[in-house]
Amino acid sequence: MAVLTVENVSFRYRNDWVLHDVSFTVNPGEFIGVLGPNGSGKTTLLKVMDGLLEPQEGTVMIDGRPIRKMSRNEAARIIAVVPQDAETVFSFTVEELVLMGRSPHLGMMSFEGSRDYRVVAQALELTGLSGLAGRRLNALSGGERQRVLIARALAQEPKILLLDEPTAFLDIRHQVEILDLAGNLNRTSGVSVVAITHDINLAASYCSRIAMLKEGSVHCLGAPEVVITEEHIRSVYGIDVIVDKHPVAASPRVTTIRSYPSEQGSRFESGAAPQL
């Protein structure tokens, strides 16, 4: 059974519809990438999947139940969101923030017990943060903070992890580290991952399926080699690219094509080197 189902979802903030009749399923253990230009509705879709926004039309089901009928805590025991950055919680220590991930599992007025601390220790271990447990968030690098947010989500012991641009602002090494981490969790603990990303090549190498959004609709959905094509990218992003194969992984690889000044027929004489 699908762990998450988005069924004919349409959503508007005020007047304009931002999501139009979006449908897809997330199966146990899948790693799904959500691609699309700025403003195409990715973050809105993530908030709808998490139950933070209620769609005016359609339904989101997690574990076979409509999310709108669940309390926040019930939903948070199944689905965990990793936001882009933790700007507002800088004064907490790493361990304090990760411990917050346990709150959906605690009863009213009850305190954390030894199991909660064990789960937190394991989340810190998995994310390579055990040595930084007492460090404040404002004394960490962007990559470390991103790992803390993933650790907090893991402490929720979710079945689904939603990542909102987990590699934004990270250098290339940390981008790979974060996606390796998500990929390892996905393989070893069977957590389903849905990650919004702008990095088409990273999505192609980590995701089992990709949904490409265009103006609030799913333009195409499927395996990376089905979705990442020159035609789809031209139609969705409005640019020409070259798509060939990654030399090792054989996943689709996108290369952008620079528009050369002489082709634009603008500032530079044809063939003349630009003056730097």
Number of residues that bind ligand ADP (CB under 6 A): 10
Does 43 contact ligand ADP by CB under 6 A?
yes
Closer residue to ligand ADP in complex, CB, 185/193: 193
Question: Applying CB under 6 A, does 167 fall inside the site for ligand ADP?
Answer: no
CB 78 within 8 A of CB 104: no
Measured from the CB atom, the residue of 17 and 92 that comes closer to ligand ADP is: 17
Least distance from ligand ADP to the Cβ atom of residue 147, Å: 23
> Per CB under 6 A, does 39 bind ligand ADP?
yes
Measured from the CB atom, the residue of 48 and 160 that comes closer to ligand ADP is: 48
Give whichever of 75 and 211 is closer to ligand ADP, judged by the CB atom.
Answer: 211
Query: Shortest distance, CB of residue 14 to ligand ADP, whole angstroms?
Result: 6
Q: Is 40 in the site for ligand ADP (CB under 6 A)?
A: yes
In the list 32, 33, 35, 36, the residue contacting ligand ADP (rule: CB under 6 A) is 36
Q: Report, in Å, the least distance between residue 224 CB and ligand ADP.
A: 19
- SS3 labels along the chain: CCCEEEEEEEEECCCCEEEEEEEEEECCCCEEEEECCCCCCHHHHHHHHCCCCCCCEEEEEECCEEHHHCCHHHHHCCEEEECCCCHHHCCCEHHHHHHHCCHHHCCCCCCCCHHHHHHHHHHHHHCCCHHHCCCEHHHCCHHHHHHHHHHHHHHCCCCEEEEECCCCCCCHHHHHHHHHHHHHHHHHHCCEEEEECCCHHHHHHHCCEEEEEECCEEEEEECHHHHCCHHHHHHHHCCCEEEEECCCCCCEEEEECCCCHHHHCCCCCCCCCCCC
Please, which residue, 19 or 191, has the CB nearer to ligand ADP?
19
Nearer to ligand ADP, 67 or 151 (CB): 67
In contact, 42 and 196? CB cutoff 8 Å: yes
Report if residue 205 touches ligand ADP, rule: CB under 6 A: no
Quote the longest CA-to-CA distance of the chain.
Answer: 73
Which of 3, 9, 18, 210 is the binder for ligand ADP (CB under 6 A)?
A: 18
Which position among 1, 13, 238, 258 is part of the footprint of ligand ADP (CB under 6 A)? Answer: 13
Least distance to ligand ADP from the beta carbon of 34, Å?
A: 9
- Residues near ligand ADP (CB under 6 A): 13, 18, 36, 38-44
